[in-house]
Amino acid sequence: MTDDHDSVYDGLLGEDDSHWAFGTSFEDPLAGVDTTIPDGADPATLATYCLMLGDDALVYSHRLSQWASNAPDLEDDIALANTALDLLGQARLLLARAAAADPSAVPAMPEGSPVPAEDSLAFFRDEPAFRNLRFVEPENGDFAVTIARLLVFSTYRLALLERLASSSDPVLSAIAAKGVKEVAYHRTYAGRWFVTLAQGTPESRRRLEAALPLVWRHHDELFATHPVEADAAAQGVGVDPAGLAGEVGAVLDQVLATAGVERPEVPSAGPVAGGRGRDGRHTEHLSRLLAEMQSVARAHPRGQW
Amino acid sequence: MPDSQPEDFAADGGHGAVPLDGVPTALGEQPPSGEWPLYEVFVRGKRGLNHVHVGSLHAADDTMAVHHARDVYTRRNEGVSIWVVRADAITASSPDEKDPMFAPAGDKVYRHPTFYDIPDDVPHM
């Protein structure tokens, strides 16, 4: 770190911002991006679809961030925090896209409020307006539960984003292309830990085997197509999750086989009040998570961050 | 300097040679439960030609060390390549030998190539 040319950290503050995919503006995540609705797409459908994918990322990001300072060691603490931040970045872009597509989806704020639209969506919507899967809501549990859930979620989301990169909405396509690289690493990280825990010590294997049924309860929900997702897919902007089940299952079976663990046979969690997460029906975990996540923004609605 | 054996030194956290006593770095030795072996991390930056030492970390094995290095040391778009090596695989010079190792070169200024006239038509000098 003595000579200037010896440090890998040189050059980070240069004038070329091209390596920051969406520029360096912290004010507007879609600065300079053309947010015109593509032909054949319905603005409200596009916005709701973006909320679904954005809320998955937002809620799961908050869950993973709860590991900060609590992970088994410093290196995994940072790894999980990085993963949470990647997902938060995806959430921000997706919520901003939703707001741009359909401004009426954004909660009304007091006159002169400095809260940007994507923050308003994140912090001033109530639980029934969240469209995330229930899969991402439950408490983290121990490290084995966290790894098992991260494996399933990142496998699912990677397959989804890979297809979404061909969306007819260029904004959604670009967000997906950026996310593919991030989520591919999340999957690698989780898959490796999954095998390590399965073949580590008797205690790590016991914990992993106990974790699988908890995670698999909500597995089927990932592939249950909501009418909005079907519409978004039909309009060319979205992806029908039912079409992901084969690829996701094959990847998970490969990891399970490598780990020497059986795929759990557990009854699927049923609908709540006739609905699922995509309908705005959630587990009790989400309300507690939102209470924590939204409390500061709601206490200071005119705060500048 | 306390009594220590010059042959028992290895790299540690990029801060030069330190005694190995009590540090789980010996090759072939099972680390005590709960402690992972130490790895040194080298990153090649976007504009750099060489891998440069950036720090150290603990990991259970080589592959995990690369993952951890990616998470800990390349979060801000620093690198395009990572090397990791177990700290105990590095043989380091001993601080006790600092004078015989390095002091003799200190007063031999004639070893620097500064006593030559460089012709004007020789580029890149």
pTM for this one?
0.81
CATH number, residue B59: 3.10.20.520
Domain assignment present for B28: yes
Interface of A with B in 238-257 (CB under 8 A): none
Residue pLDDT, tens place only, A244-264 = 999 999 999 999 999 999 999
pLDDT in tens, A133-160: 999 999 999 999 999 999 999 999 999 9
User: How many structural domains comprise chain B?
Assistant: 1
pLDDT of B121 strictly over 80: yes
> Is the model's pLDDT at A54 over the cut of 90?
yes
- Could you tell me if residue B86 is inside a domain? yes
Instruction: Print the domain residue range for A92.
Output: 38-299
Is B124 near chain A, with CB under 8 Å? no
In this structure, is residue B46 part of a structural domain?
yes
Q: Which residues of B touch A8 (CB under 8 A)?
A: 43-45, 48, 52, 54, 78-79
Contact between residue B87 and residue B40 where contact means Cβ atoms under 8 Å apart = yes
Rounded Cα–Cα distance for residues A27 and A114 (Å)? 11
Can you give the pLDDT at residue B87? 93
Q: Is residue B119 part of a domain?
A: no
pLDDT score of B9: 58
- Please name the residue of chain A whose CA is at the shortest distance from the CA of residue B69: A75
A110 is written with which tokens? 């007091």
B residues 86-115 closer than 8 Å to A (CB): none
Strands (E), A164-237: none
To which residue do tokens 């490969």 refer? A254
Q: With the CA atoms of B85, B87, B93 and B96 taken in that order, what torsion angle do they form, in degrees rounded to the nearest 10?
A: 170
Which residue did the predictor score with more confidence, B122 or A49?
A49
Domain that holds residue B19: 7-95
What's the rounded mean pLDDT across residues A5-22? 54
Integer CA distances (angstroms), A31 to A27, A173, B81, in order: 8, 16, 31
Q: Which CA distances in Å does A203 have to A107, A199, B74, B125?
A: 47, 10, 32, 62
Per-residue pLDDT, averaged over A150-175, amounts to 97
**In a domain? residue B37:** yes
Digit-coded pLDDT (tens) for A228-248: 999 999 999 999 999 999 999
In a domain, A26, yes or no: no
Residue B13 lies in a domain: yes
Looking at the domain assignment, is residue B116 inside a domain? no
Q: Which residues 6+ apart lie within 8 Å of A168 measured at CB?
A: A38, A39, A40, A41, A235, A236, A237
CATH of the domain at A267: 1.20.1260.10
Domain membership flag for residue A226 = yes
What does pLDDT average to over chain A? 90
Q: Please indicate, yes or no, if residue A126 is contained in any of the structural domains.
A: yes
Q: How far apart are CA B79 and CA B74, in angstroms?
A: 6
Q: Is A75 on the interface with B (CB under 8 A)?
A: yes
| β partners of residue A275 | A272
- Higher-pLDDT residue of A272, A92: A92
* A7: contact with B, CB 8 A cutoff: yes
Domain tally, chain A = 1
Assess B82–A contact: CB distance below 8 Å, yes or no.
no
**A16 close contact with B: CB closer than 8 A:** no
Residues B51 and B83: beta-carbon distance below 8 Å: yes
pLDDT (mean) for B97-119: 78
Contact across the interface for A12 and B77, Cβ inside 8 Å? yes
